Structure 1
């Protein structure tokens, strides 16, 4: 519980609207987290490494109720310690959340990113969550499929880590964009046409060589015209 409280307070300090995240009083926050676990369907997932709590996910199973027959999982908070980001912690927490949703028969997973956490917004978008009022939503099946694909890519990355995987994705996108132009295509600049690759164009004499040849020819012609014969 102490680790959970510390992470919640860190999330509060990081958010631009900290008062909307949680209370700043650690004792009160511990009581509130305990109450969440006592609520039917309340879910708390914790990521630990070397005995330290480095990530948390707070969720709650909703429904059925008089307004819907469906069961959904609401992810109310997801936070990873700044020193352990880009290491798959958030991904692992979402895998756990998807398993909770699937076990409960929840067809959809809703998420409410912490206010002001732009990185978390991007994270949910990358996992396929679409806007739904003030939340984001995706189907449980689609989430599990996306998490499986991302997990396979991370495993193939091996020891080079997630940062290298992201760099390779960016490089791949840049390569596809470059391929759209086509090798050897003519690119028009102003009123001139230019061939991007020199090896695709016919070889041309250098300007220096041409200049020397013209100068030599002109000089030879002038010498012949200006010569005189004396008797």
Structure 2
């Protein structure tokens, strides 16, 4: 850690500075509500709540006494889908004027100490799409891809689900049409087979009748007397 850089747990007196950092991060990323609220009062209450819960961790970094960065994270305890404790990094941000001074390393060092003390086996990070600098920074520290996150607004998802309903409903009808075509094809095949059998049967009967007639005709060499 460079001289003048310090990382510590945030206190109530740091909340306004943290709100400023959150709003800077929001404006820089362009992610809008996906990152944080735009209202200062809402952000203040949310940060205070995160810092007050047992598994919430709010770290603030200062450079020469000025607020320069923050880490917002949570300890996720074992649950229904996981039997391990993990540390989830919800936000890692360094103000532009204080970058390339070792604040990112210092903040992650403090975060990994929190993870180690809690017995967390893994540290997860979800950098915002487009944050190439953070992506490269995390990759250098050994973070590997673990999952792909996608997001959609509730209203957009409702509209898409409503549009997809007719498509789902038509699938049985399409299958029924295929079954109908197959049944007709089989029926035509049976009719053709019956016609072939009838022709063969008729020809056989004709041959039998012809033979019978020939047997009953008188021999040409016989004579008639009166």
TM-score (norm 2): 0.57
In structure 1, distance between residues paired with 2:123 and 2:41: 30
Is residue 92 of structure 2 the alignment partner of residue 92 of structure 1?
Answer: no
| Match of residue 6 from structure 1 | 20
2:81 is the alignment partner of 1:51: no
Q: What's the CA shift for 1:134?
A: 3.3
> Does structure 1 residue 42 correspond to structure 2 residue 69?
no
SS at match of 2:71: strand
Deviation at 1:116, TM superposition (A): 3.0
1:130 aligned counterpart, secondary structure: coil
Shift of the alpha carbon at 1:48?
A: 1.0
- In the alignment, what sits opposite 2:41? 27
| Cα distance between partner residues in 2 of 1:99 and 1:77 | 17
Task: Name 1:66's counterpart in structure 2.
Answer: 80
Q: Please list the CA deviations of residues 8-62 of structure 1 after superposition, one character each: whole Å capped at 9, or x if unmatched.
A: 0000000032231111111111111111112331001110123321000000001
Large movers: runs of 4+ above 6 Å: none
**Cα distance, 1:65 vs. partner?**
1.6
* TM superposition shift of 1:108: 0.4
Matches within 5 A, 1:68-147: 68-134=82-148
Q: Residues of 1 paired with 2:76 and 2:44: CA distance?
A: 23
Which aligned pairs between 1:157-172 and structure 2 lie closer than 5 A? none
Contact 1:16 1:116 survives alignment (8 Å): no
Q: 1:20 to 1:71 in 2, by over 3 A?
A: same
Q: Distance in 2 between matches of 1:61 and 1:50?
A: 29
SS in 1 for 2:136: helix
- Between the aligned partners of 1:36 and 1:12, the Cα distance in structure 2 is 18
User: Please, which moves more after superposition, 61-70 or 73-82?
Assistant: 61-70
Q: Which of 96-105 and 30-39 deviates more?
A: 30-39
Alpha-carbon separation, structure 1, partners of 2:64 and 2:144: 35
Aligned CA-pair RMSD = 1.3
Structure with bigger gyration radius: 2
Residues 63 and 98 in structure 2, CA contact (< 8 A), matched pair in contact too: no
